[in-house]
Amino acid sequence: MSKRRKKSNNFIITIIVFIFLCVSGYFGTDYFLDTSNNIAKEASANEVQITTSASIENADEVDLNNDKLNIIFFYVGQADCTLIKLNDEVMLIDSGNNSDGKNVVSFLQEKGITQIDYLVGTHADEDHIGGIDDVIKSMEIGTFLIPTVGKNGTDYKNAVEAAEEKNIPIEHPTMGEVFIFEDAHFEIMSAMEEEGTSDNNSSLVIELTYNNTKYLFMGDAETEVENSRSWNKVNVLKVGHHGSNSSSSTKFLEQVKPQYSIIEVGKNNSYNLPSDKAIKRLEESGTQILRTDKANGDEVGSFWLTSDGNTIDIRKVNINLDGNG
């Protein structure tokens, strides 16, 4: 069963300080700091092995009935939708546009998924929560997570009304909250609610840690969010705002240092995304870029990631859930 907990408290902080004082008093502060720095350097240098497999032509070959972490970055046109599954526990982050919701539901049901433990609407824009009301109406939902910014929008109201009709708990998480699937820990890294916050910057940004691997899902968060805190190094980044120039700043990328960066973006979209400038910054960071609008050469598709917690395998899959496609 999935669990939830708040991040640290004052008691834990007190214990950490006490241990530090005891150790530094016995060995000397320099020894303690040198040892910590060496450990940090060794950890940061330990890259997780990532392999990529050839394109899978038939989506039926995607088998989610395994004991690994499964993540699918779907092609839903100019929109976002990401599935995370570990054994019987499921999180769905966003659900595409209004026209995509039924396709998302159909795919999940075909794969034997009838319950979603955490349904996340990263923010109020239609290309992220437009299909969520279809998901809510068709599936069993444990908890619906969504920020409060943008609550007067039509798609936001439709999603909330659908959840209320089924008595599904609706929660507005804050930065630092943690949700747990066995060995998978999901932490809310940003959840801006200040007055004047844009829909994009209110995005629920989620970091997933699974044993020795890390993944970061940025929603549509922009530079304001990226500059608001420090970030951990991750193996895989779901790029913010479909590869817009307003996201993926150099300073941010220097911190997260992703081995792979996945952009969920529509083919020939009217916004001309991803931005050439953002792509250049990503390339200069050394990351490998994967785009749903060019998953198979010039053909659209999705990416299926599996991990045992020490290695990561990424496959291209012929899944197109774009309701307008």
Chain-centroid distance, C-alpha 129? 15
Q: For residue 94, how many other CB atoms are within 10 A of its CB?
A: 31
Band (320; pLDDT cuts 50, 70, 90): very high
What integer is the mean pLDDT of 10-34?
45
Question: Global pTM?
Answer: 0.87
Nearest-10 Cα torsion for 241, 242, 243, 249 = 20
CATH number of 49-317: 3.60.15.10
Q: Does 59 score more than 90 pLDDT?
A: no
Q: Does 22 score more than 80 pLDDT?
A: no
Sign, CA dihedral 24-29-32-37, equals: positive
Band (287; pLDDT cuts 50, 70, 90): very high
- Helices 29-45 and 10-27 meet at what angle, rounded to 10? 110
User: Is residue 129 within 8 Å of residue 159, measured between CB atoms?
Assistant: yes
The DSSP-derived string for 203-257 is: --EEEEEETTEEEEE-TT--HHHHTTS-----SEEE-GGGG-TTSS-HHHHHHH-
Q: Is 267 left (phi over 0), alpha (psi -120 to 50) or beta?
A: beta
Q: pLDDT digits over 243-264, tens only?
A: 999 999 999 999 999 999 999 9
Domain residue ranges of the chain, discontinuous segments joined by +: 10-42, 49-317
Q: pLDDT digits over 113-137, tens only?
A: 999 999 999 999 999 999 999 999 9
Band (241; pLDDT cuts 50, 70, 90): very high
